[in-house]
Structure formats: C-alpha cells, structure tokens
Copies of this chain bind each other. A is one copy, B any other.
C-alpha cells in the first residue's frame, strides 16, 4: 500500500491585496510562478484577511462614534473603542461579555461565534482602519474558486476561506473554515464500520476546519503567505457550505 500523503504548499509572492483584486486569478499565477501550478483536486485555503481586503471590507474608524459600552470594553481590553463599536455592530448576539477584561465573544451576522465579531486591525495597513469579515464567505469562496478554475483551466479546484478563532477550554487560536466552495466541509462516518467491524455512531469530522488549521501553520502570521494549496486529499467534490459547520444555538450546550 502506498502511504497516503497530504501536502500543504504555501503560495508566496502575492502583492498586497486591494479592493477589486481578483484573488483566484492572482493566486493561480503566483502558484504557477513558484512552479507549483494548480492541479486537479487541489484545495486552496485563503486567509479571510485578503478576501476581506479584495472585497473592500475596510471600515474607517474616523467615521465611527463609539457607544458608552464600546468605550468601557475598549478601556478594559486595551483596544480602540471605535473598533469595539464596530464589533458590537457586527454582532447579532452576545455569547459572553467580560466587562472587567474587555472580552466580547459574540455571534456574527453569519452565525460564527468568535471574539470581537471577527473585526480585526492586524495586517491591515493604516492606523484608523479595521477590516470586517466578508459579507458572505461561502459566496467569496465560490467566486475565488470560479476565478481560479478559469485562470488555471483546472475544473476541480475547491476553496476554503479561513479565519483565526479562539475556543473554549483550550488556549491558543486555531484557523477554521468560514467559507467553502467545491467540497463538503464535513466527513460523515456515521454508519460506516470501524477497523474491528463496529458501526460508528457519532463521528463527523470537521474536514474543512482541520485543513484550515494546518494551512495556517504554513501561512504564519507574519510571513505574508495568505494562501495555501492542499494537495493529495482523496475527496469527492461537493457543494457544502461552511455554514454547515455551525451548530444551531438551541442544540449548543454552551450558549
């Protein structure tokens, strides 16, 4: 038996992404330039930050007047009050708020649970600018996949848009999938048999999150590698959405 093998290949040489840039096309040519052109069944993991930049999701903080709540949160957490104001506006529900430490864990309009509704200033040029999540990250993934397929001529390229979230119980952040196109984000083992013949009852693997996580290790936070090719997965293509990874609040013991 040949050893199964998955590769994560960082894509270097991309320019600073600006509103209107065709990310799928830029990634395709950067991959070709570094002699790792896209191939059949590749999955592209693309960092939310460049997706949001290409979609002009910048907010000029000079236009934002913070509420009293945002001022308090910002003071306690050492953050710009106007950034906290934007985070509150991007939230559809507060999951936990710690006024003493300035922590806001909320549910974004899309249903993601994360700190500050994903509103972020790191790796964003300019002092008074923050970046929002894409309006519809599944649609972003679809658009990038379409561009990459057109530019590369490879029809089966899938895309994951990834972002860096914290989580309960465990320290450290991991990257997860907030947008998906061309693959099923979960592998469903329910009903299949394990190596000793027992029927597996509950295991569904969050494939897209696990890919996003490892891709992040290739990206780093400071290396300027906003996209990674995942190669070697034996996947059926699919039409799943990243929203499939969201637990319904009424089924969640932690909301």
**B-contacting residues of A (Cβ < 8 Å)?**
1-13, 34, 36, 78, 96, 98, 103, 105, 112-113, 121-125, 164, 167-176, 185-186, 189, 192-196, 198, 200-201, 203-207, 209-211, 213-214, 216-218, 221-225, 233, 244-247, 252-255
- Residues B214 and A170 in contact, CB atoms below 8 Å apart: no
| Complex Cα–Cα for A123 and B201 (A) | 12
| Complex Cα–Cα for A121 and B207 (A) | 23
Oligomer copy total:
2
Q: List residues of chain B with CB within 8 A of the CB of A2.
A: 34
Q: List residues of chain B with CB within 8 A of the CB of A213.
A: 174, 209-210, 213-214
Q: How distant is A114 from chain B, measured CB to nearest CB, in Å?
A: 8
- Residues B245 and A172 in contact, CB atoms below 8 Å apart: yes
- Residues A194 and B221 in contact, CB atoms below 8 Å apart: yes
Nearest chain B residue, comparing its CB with the CB of A103: B253
- Residues B5 and A5 in contact, CB atoms below 8 Å apart: no
Q: How distant is A77 from chain B, measured CB to nearest CB, in Å?
A: 10
